[in-house]
Amino acid sequence: MTVKSKHVRIKGVKDGLVFLLDDKCPFEDLLSELRFKLEHSHQNILTGPVVHVDVKMGTRLVTDEDKEAVLSILKAQGNLLIRSVDTLEAPKSEVDTSLFLVSGMIRSGQVLHHKGDLLLLGDVNPGGTITCTGDIYILGALRGMAHAGVEGNEGAVIAASMMSPTQLRIAEIISRPPDEWGTRESNMEFAYLQNGAMQIDKIHNIFKVRQDLNVFKGV
């Protein structure tokens, strides 16, 4: 069997090994290549003494089950001692208006949280969740749950290229039932609060809506 892809790179360092895992390929392909390299093409690293291993998963968003799947393959080799696992974490910021950019897919069971505004280049699948203290912008399909303004910011918005969420929430206000989203047009829209109720509008109206709200609030 020959594996031509290079989703897994193994780099030797002074005090061990670093496993660099591709964060763009399908997760199952990643696991298959990792397993193959350890069982076949890289057996030489398994014949020596204990080796310390650092695992770097890039910007891939992983569940606890995903992380354990990777670790179980590594731990099965006997002499590999896992020292650290680096996964995606939104950087902490004292400025809530900072825009954090993430590319990838939020799959079922995954939760992405950020303190500030978030721009996701990808889809949110059913069962996936995004939460932010600020705004959420999704250049993709929102089919899961999105919660903006989680610390009570009622001026936050949620925008997506395709709105088909299981739930929208801004501050403490929850959207209409998910079955009402089934027949919407596939144009980019955004959700916002007006008089304590969730409203939906086309994205090109976002500036006007926010301007009107600020005038209404006396800002």
Q: Could you report the per-residue pLDDT of 177-203, keeping only the tens digit for each?
A: 555 555 556 678 999 998 888 888 998
Burial class from Cβ neighbours inside 10 Å (0-12, 13-18, 19+) for residue 182 reads exposed
Q: Residue 199 in 3-state DSSP?
A: strand
- Residues 114-143 pLDDT 10s: 888 999 999 999 999 999 999 999 999 999
Sign of CA dihedral 90, 94, 100, 105: positive
Identify the three-state secondary structure at position 48.
coil
Selected residue with higher pLDDT from 62 and 203 = 203
- 4 pLDDT above the threshold of 60: no
Distance (Å, whole) CA 201 – CA 206: 8
CA-to-CA distance for 205 and 143, rounded, in angstroms?
22
Q: Which residue has the higher pLDDT, 190 or 51?
A: 190
Lowest mean pLDDT among 29-43, 86-100, 164-178: 86-100
Q: What is the DSSP string of 141-179?
A: EE-SEEEE-TTS-TT--EEEEEE--SEEEETTEE-S-GG
Phi first, then psi, for residue 185 (nearest 5°) are -70, 150
CATH of domain 99-217: 2.160.20.70
| pLDDT band of 6, cuts 50, 70, 90 | confident
Domain ranges of the chain: 8-86, 99-217
DSSP 106-146: B-TT-EEEESSEEEEES-B-TT-EEEESS-EEEEEEE-SEE
Confidence class of residue 7 from pLDDT cuts 50, 70 and 90?
Answer: confident
* pLDDT tens per residue across span 143-155: 999 999 998 999 9
Q: How confident is the model over 78-103, as pLDDT tens digits?
A: 788 888 888 765 444 444 446 788 88
